[in-house]
Each structure stands twice: as structure tokens, then as C-alpha cells.
Amino acid sequence: MKRVTGMSLVVFALLAVVAGGPEPALAQEEYPPANESVADSLETGMSAMDQARIIADQYAQDPQVEVTSEPFIQGLSNEPKAGALANVRQFTYYGDLITTLKFQNNSTFRNTFKFSWEEYRKQDKTVQKKDDNFTYGLGSNLPFVFTMNGAWNWSEDRTTNTAGFANLSKRDQKRAGLNAMKSNFKTGFLNNTAKISARIMDQESVNQNQRNDFNEGAIDGGFQSDMRIAEGARIAGRLYGMTLEGDRALGNSTESSSANGDTVGFGVYYKRTIANGRVAVTRSNFQKKYLDFKRNTNGLIDTVGVDEDKKVVDELETNDAISYELENNFRFGRIGVGTRLTRLTSDLDYAQSGVGLRQKEQDVMDLSLTYAVGPDSFAVSYDYLWRWDDQRYKNATENRGKQYNKARDYEFRYFRDLFRHTKLNLRYHEGLSQDIAEENAQGHRPNENDLDRHQADISARLERNWIGKFRATMVFTYQQVQDLNIRESRSSNNNVKDSYELSPGYAWTISPLISLDQSYRVYIQYTDFLYSNLETVNRSDDYSKRGNLATKVIIDPSNRLKITLRHDYNKRFSATKTGVDASGNAFYHRDLNQTINKIELAFRFVVTQGVTLEASTYRTRDDRENFGTRDTTTRTYSGEMWVGTQVRRRWFQKNPLELSVMVRKYNAFGPSVTETSSDYWEADIWLKWEF
């Protein structure tokens, strides 16, 4: 494979700003942190808007370097750590070494080396990993922030599946980069931030005997400028560009690869006494050329029956995305009003993949109103989502037809202190989401899955709290869910589910030594199939009821010992509707009676400072009676017990040595317990030294 031969340069130009720029702190609040390079982020399969945002957000980031204002420190520290983990699935042995070198003026070099070996208990699988990462920051030695970083990630995964097929998945990846950033420097009335970075990446990997190698270099940079236009208001513009070049090898093919992209953003940010918010527009474009496996119209790799030399294609992916965002939070006295409107559009186009051109648009509106005063408070919110996507398959002459998704939600919350220590909390929610497949120009719909889901629920919670002694709650919830398939080919399954839940409970601190917690719950759900009355539809309405009594006692006889007892009692019935008489009374046939009893006991004993003994056990009895063409009665038992210890010790003030041990031995039984889960250890043991 040939090495990187050259790289394009990115030219930056400051976006013309008519007036003002965002207050830096204000603007930067809006940007999420980024930990990865742009090149790393630009992965196949990522949406155009996501890629655009990643590119755009690179600018508003703080650099990945620790710059402290602490006094001058100089030194070398090493933190070796070794440990072992065990659980029902795997054993892991690992070792870490963190080396930190601190120089003058906050200049720091930090290297982290990690090694791990994983052995799976249930699978024929081992994974070995070695990773080394370093960062070197020049601190305040330069008038701008400058960092270097590098990484080496090596892994080898050997898995043999149930049929005896052994696969080796191996990867050896190296990366190195330079980053420079100058923030908050003034040019006239403008406040500016500039950033530039360069990196190289090299990977050799193999999986299922297919190699996937690349050797690429990338450079990217950006500029942001802002200015104050009024008290508490700023305006900002930003520009970003990146380019990448290199070579890739996939399967038996080798080809050059490249990517380049740019992002332009503009926004007004304000933060005044009664309102804050922003208006922002971001436009992003990029294209990426790489080797990829042949994919079908859904983007799934499809190489079955394809000639070996046609399995890999030279793909060209282009993205064009734009986002608009308006956010305003207004507070006037006790009234708060929040508004957020966004629109995202993107066109994602593949030259080779069967996916072809995929277009998307998404509009979101979130409105909220809050009112808080004295014993009464309420909050109202209304959210609206409207989005569609369309696709023109590769080589198709027309689009497939838009697939819409519309959703709206309304929520009302009300809080009131009824009496002293007594609170009432009411909630009402209603939501509707719709999937709509639009006919294309030739009258074809992409699918028959048009669906409306309507949900309405109301809940009331009453709580009385005698502080420190007794707390009682009562919760009532009603929910109705309608699943409505619109097309006649699916509508026989349409149904409405009505659910009720009533759950009183209390928690009583009887004395400092004993507390009691008890709750009772009743759940009832009725399912009504909307077309069950038709002879052609063989669906029957039904109901299901369940009662649950949970009791928990906690005993604290001393500072060292804590004992917990818990009992759960469940009673469940379900029945199917068999008919309705002339006066409208419904008749049901009982299908199932079930009773579940579960008892748990747990204790924790502090032997001495840093050393704790623990144990827990439960046992469940499940009685089921099924009534059908043949009645059956079954009783099953299941249970588990574990005993263990925790040790946490630290020695020496200078060059401390730290030991942490958590070991538990599990034994379990029951109908679903397999050989590997019936007897195993769970452990987390490590030893760390700092010098």
C-alpha cells in the first residue's frame, strides 16, 4: 500500500458578520464536548447531519489538554495497576500503567498503557487488547495552546462459534496528531478563536479473512469570531474545513481514499434579564471517497453470489446538510415560557451503494409554560415533531415516496400542598404518533405500515410525610393505548389497551434499629380488539390482573451489622372474553392462575475498617394453573445464594499502595439456570501503586 503522498490545504475565511458576536461563555454553553478527531468521526453510516454537527462543533471545544493555573510543579509519577475481574460471563485480567511527566509552565506529558486478557466462560472466545495513549501539552510555553497526541490500539479476538467456525478478528491501529488553538484573541472589535490540527492514521486489520487496512492523513482547521451588539447580546460566525487523503485496502482491493468538508455557521445569542436564547444557522458539506462492500438499497452488505472482484466497490459519499435553530426562554415573574424550533435537512448520496440518494427533513417544536406560586404550581408542555425521509434508489428514475413520522405530546402537571406535609401531584399526558407512507408519483406506497399510536394517561399521587417517622403514599394511574394500523391489510390487529394501577404503601421507621416498608399494587389491563366482532377476525378481547404485596424489613442492630428481609407475594389472573349477553354483560374464560412467592434475606457485617462480609439469598416458588383444552398445574422453585467480602485498604502516605477486593461466590438453581450460571465467582480485585 502506498503511503500518504500529499495533502490539500484548507483556506479559512472569516464569515462576514454584520453586527456583533456571541458572548463566548454564552456561546460555548451550547456546544457539546468533542473527544474525537474529525477524521475519526466521519464514519460510514453516520447521518449527514451528525457529521455536519461533529465538524461544526470541533471549533467550540476546549482542547484536550489540562491547562492549570496552579503554581509551578515539576515531577514524574507512575501509577501501575493490576487487577482481575470475574462474572458469570468472563474472566478478565488487566494491567495499566499511567506515567505523568510535568514540566515548567504547566507543560505535561501523560502516557497510559493498558493490557487486558479476556476469557469467556460460556463461549469459545478469547480477547487480548493492548492500548497506549499519550498526550503532550506545552502548557503556557507558547502564546497559544499546543498539544500532541498519539495512540496505539491493538486487539486480537478469537471466537469459535457453535458450528465450529473459528474466526480471528485482529486490529492494529496507530494514530498521531498535532493540535494548536488560540482562543479569545482580539482583532479590532472582534473576539476570535482559531484552531488547526493535523493527524495521521494507520490501520491493519483482518476479520473473516478479509483485510481492512488504511493509511491516511488529515488536516483541519476553523475560525470563530464574535462581537457584542448590545448588552447581553452577541453575534458570531464560524467556518470550518477539513481534508483527508490516503489509501485503503478492503478485501482484495486497494484504492486511494479522500475526504473533505466544510461548515459555515452563524448565530445570534442573547441573555437578558427576562429572556435568553439563540438563533443559529449551520450549513455543512462534505464528500468522502473510500472502499466499501457492495450494499443493497437498504444499506446492508450484500455480497452473496457476487463475483469476488465485484464484492468491493469504490464508494463516493456526499453530504449536504443545513440546520436552523431558534430557542427562547422567557420568564416574567412567576410565569416561564420556553420555545424551541429546529429544522434539519440533509441530502446523503452514494455513488455505488444501492441506497442511492437519501433525503431527510425534520422539524421540531417544543413549547412549555410553567407557573409557580405558593401551594399551587403547574407546568404545561407541548412538543411537536414532523419529519420525513425519501429515497431515490441507485439507478431508479423516481423517488420511492416519502415516509413521514409525526408526533405530538401534551403534558400537564399540577402540584399542590393539601395540608401540612401532604402533597398532591397530578399528571395528564396525551400523545399521538403517526407513521405515514406517502404514495410516489406512480401511486405506489413504500409500505403498508401506516400506523397511529395514541396514548393518554393520567396519574395522581398523594403523599404524606411525618418526617423521620412515617411516610404514606397512594398512587393511581390510568392509561389507554390505541394501536391503529390504517391499511386494511393490517387493521385486524387494531386494539385498545386500558390499564389501571392502584398502589398504596407506607414506610415506617419503628425505631432507629428497625424500619418497615410495605406496598400493595393492583394492576389491571383490558385489551379490546376493535374488529373482534367481525367473523373474519379471529381475535378475542382479554384481561389480565395482578396483585402484588411487597414487604421489607431492615434491621440495624449495630453500626456493624445490617439485615434486610423482603417478601414478595404476587397473584395473577388472565382471562379471554367468550361472549356478551343481551344486556351487555361480558363473559370471560379464565386462562391462567398464578401465584409467586419470593423471600429474600441479606446481611452486611463490617468486620473492621475497610473489611466487610456480605451474603444474600432468595428463594421463589411459582405455582401456575393453565386452563385450556387441557388443564395443567405446575410448581417451580428457583433461588440463589451468594457470600462474599469487600476489602479496601491503603498503605503509606507517600507513594501510596491501594488494594481493593470484592469477591462473591454465587450458587443458583431454577428452571432457567444453566451449568455456567449455577456456580460461579464474581470478583473485582485490583492493586494500585503510585510512585
- Report 615-644 residues binding other proteins (CB under 8 A): 620, 622, 624, 634, 636-638
* Residues of this chain, 102-131, that bind other proteins according to CB under 8 A: 122-123, 125, 127
Q: Does 549 bind other proteins (CB under 8 A)?
A: no
Q: Which of 279, 380, 647, 687 binds other proteins (CB under 8 A)?
A: 380
* Residues of this chain, 320-379, that bind other proteins according to CB under 8 A: 354, 358, 371, 373, 376, 378
Q: Of 339 and 491, which has the nearer Cβ to other proteins? A: 491
* Residues of this chain, 216-255, that bind other proteins according to CB under 8 A: none
Distance CA 667, CA 106 (A): 53
Contacts of 521 (CB under 8 A, 6+ apart): 501, 502, 503, 546, 547, 548, 549, 550
- Burial (CB < 10 A; 0-12, 13-18, 19+), residue 508, is middle
Q: Which of 59, 214, 223, 393 binds other proteins (CB under 8 A)?
A: 393
Identify each DSSP E strand in 231-375 by its residue range.
233-250, 253-271, 275-293, 312-332, 335-350, 357-373
What values do phi and psi take at 227, rounded to 5? -150, 155
Closest Cα to residue 57, out of 301, 357, 366, 280?
280
The contact pattern for other proteins, residues 183-212, with x = CB under 8 A and - = no contact, is ------------------------xx----
CB 543, min distance to other proteins, A: 9
CB 515, min distance to other proteins, A: 23
Owner of C-alpha cell 446492508 = 300
Stretch that binds other proteins, among 91-99, 130-138, 657-665, 668-676 (CB under 8 A): 668-676
Q: Of 41 and 368, which has the nearer Cβ to other proteins? A: 41
Q: Does 678 bind other proteins (CB under 8 A)?
A: no
* Residues of this chain, 57-76, that bind other proteins according to CB under 8 A: none
Owner of C-alpha cell 496507530 = 174
CB 523, min distance to other proteins, A: 5
CB 586, min distance to other proteins, A: 18
Q: Which of 572, 604, 665, 688 binds other proteins (CB under 8 A)?
A: 572
Q: Which of 465, 473, 570, 645 binds other proteins (CB under 8 A)?
A: 570
Q: Which three cell numbers stand for residue 235?
A: 453575534
Q: Which of 465, 492, 519, 645 binds other proteins (CB under 8 A)?
A: 492
HEC letters along 573-640:
EEEEEEEECCCCCEEEEEEEEEEEEEEEEEEEEEEECCEEEEEEEEEEEEEEEECCCCCEEEEEEEEE
Pair type for strands 145-160 and 124-137: antiparallel
Owner of C-alpha cell 383444552 = 629
CB 450, min distance to other proteins, A: 8
Closest Cα to residue 30, out of 295, 333, 236?
236
Q: Does 403 bind other proteins (CB under 8 A)?
A: yes
CB 163, min distance to other proteins, A: 4
* Residues of this chain, 509-548, that bind other proteins according to CB under 8 A: 523-525, 530-531, 534, 536-539, 542, 544-546
Q: Of 622 and 684, which has the nearer Cβ to other proteins? A: 622
The contact pattern for other proteins, residues 287-306, with x = CB under 8 A and - = no contact, is ---------xxxxxxx-x--
| Spatial contact of 213 and 2, defined as CB atoms under 8 Å apart | no
Q: Of 68 and 161, which has the nearer Cβ to other proteins? A: 161
Q: How far apart are the first and last CA of the chain?
A: 44
| Spatial contact of 387 and 407, defined as CB atoms under 8 Å apart | no
Q: Which of 5, 161, 533, 578 binds other proteins (CB under 8 A)?
A: 161
Report which secondary-structure segment, H or E, holds 514: strand 514-529
Q: Of 159 and 465, which has the nearer Cβ to other proteins? A: 159
Q: How many chain residues bind other proteins (CB under 8 A)? A: 113
What values do phi and psi take at 104, rounded to 5? -65, 155
CB 202, min distance to other proteins, A: 18
